[in-house]
Structure 1
Amino acid sequence: MNIRTITIGVLAVLILAGLAVSVQAAKPGTNFNGPHDTLNIIGKDVDWKGNGEGYDNGNTMFVPDNTSEFNITVWDEGVETVIPGIQIDITQGDEFTVIDGNAFDDGTCAFQLAPGKYNVYIAAKAKPNAYTNIVGWVKANDTYYFDIGDVQVSKSKKAQWTDATDLFYVSAKEEPDAIGMLSPGDDVWVFDYLNNLNTFDSALYPDPSYFWQYDNHGSKLVQIRFYEA
């Protein structure tokens, strides 16, 4: 696999991947009023003691508003690498729900998407001048990590939604050694990719998973909407 450098805030991290896809602002005229699932990520002081079980039908999680004291360990061909932020594990199942809404106990949260594929939009809803970096990661064993996209969201005077759909698609550009599963120009829904990876060689790629690296710098509320594609 290719080794490249990405910059997250002020930290440059060598990772095992191809070029990440930059997410773009939503196109003018995008309809945000249709049926959708919503995930609310609420930033709290680092010493917050709430239970983090969420509310509003399980669509809320609580994270530090400043994640400088948190990090995630990944492996680059067996070399341990530390990247900033908390980890948000994402799976897909029967319904949309938050599984673990508290990042304060162990630096991780988790939520489950409902069946299907989605167009995904992200917006920061509180505290101007704060920002959050989100990177999507695929993991299949201790040496097989790569990122499939990244986005930075911040609150501005305009309530602008960012199209983050690419955080959920794997392309041959991002993972050129995808063992024949991807052709140039292909974009594969990440959970389909994980299933294919496991089917190809479950011993070599055991329990493939997808997670977000959530690197928060003051954001009090980040909202993610999922519209069925």
Structure 2
Amino acid sequence: MAIKKSAKGRSIIISPTVITLMVAVALIAGVQFQKMSGDLGFDTRSRAGNSAPSGPHFNLNIIGVPKDKTASMTGSAGHRIFVPLAGKCNITLSPGEFQVLDGNCTDNNGAAFQLPNPDPNNDGVTEYSVYARALGKPGGKSTTTTCATDPVTGEIYCSVYSMVLIREKGKSSFSNVSQQLLYIYYDLNGDGKPERYNLFNEALQDYFWSYDNNGLKLAQLRFYDVSTYVNP
């Protein structure tokens, strides 16, 4: 039995049953807050030492190679895509479960990757998040931009935001690149302000990542089942 002093100095007796109820209420409130935070899109997972969320994820390695690959990698269903160590190539995107459909981006056909629609309502809250980091020999850099085609004019539009990875010396940490890889920001209506279009938005078609490599040996992407708020 606990004894607590009141403001006037008198003792108030608190029974063990009351204490147990108070602890239970506090625990339930904590669980409900954590659940609510998850429902609202807050990332409640702990961070690993590399700044990425902890927990299950789909891993995709984009590997820069000095020579073109000749083997067919269509339907490889792996976790890697080969790109030129220096130069550009396109990675075609299509909706579906995470899967590499064509792992060779060094040939004329480019590569192909499948991933779910990240934001079907285009409300700026993703259903999963992408984290990326640069690995390999220091000094490499890559720029990845999300693009798509206007179904009426056939013109290609690329987002004003790009994922830029630079391999610095020392430890490499992950950063959240959901805004750059899962959306296109472009002024389609001509009002002077870029609008936000989620991947596979019907306003555009034939989505792809334009990958421009300048010596980066490895771009590592991880897709986590956590939400991200992106800018309007």
Q: TM-score normalised to the size of structure 1?
A: 0.62
Matches within 5 A, 1:1-229: 29=47, 30-52=51-73, 58-67=78-87, 85-93=88-96, 95-114=97-116, 116=118, 117-141=127-151, 143-148=154-159, 149-156=161-168, 157-167=170-180, 168-171=182-185, 174-177=186-189, 187-191=196-200, 194-195=201-202, 197=203, 208-228=205-225, 229=227
Change (3 A) 1:164 1:213: same
Q: Which has the higher contact order (CA 8 A, sep 6+)?
A: 1
Change (3 A) 1:52 1:126: farther
The offset of 1:118, in angstroms, is 2.2
Higher helix share: 2
Higher strand share: 1
Distance 1:54 1:33 in 2: 29
Any unmatched runs of 5+ in structure 2? 1-45, 119-126, 228-232
SS at match of 2:179: helix
Would you say the 8 A contact 1:66–1:218 is kept in 2? yes
The worse-fitting range, judged by mean Cα deviation, of 58-67 and 43-52 is 43-52
Q: TM-score normalised to the size of structure 2?
A: 0.61
Q: CA RMSD in A?
A: 2.8
Structure label with greater radius of gyration: 2
- Give % identity: 30
Match of 2:21 in 1: none
In the alignment of these two chains, the number of paired residues is 165
Any unmatched runs of 5+ in structure 1? 1-27, 68-84, 198-204
1:88-141 deviation line (CA, Å, top 9, x unaligned): 111111x21001111222151010013553211111111110111111112124
Change (3 A) 1:52 1:188: same
SS at match of 1:41: strand
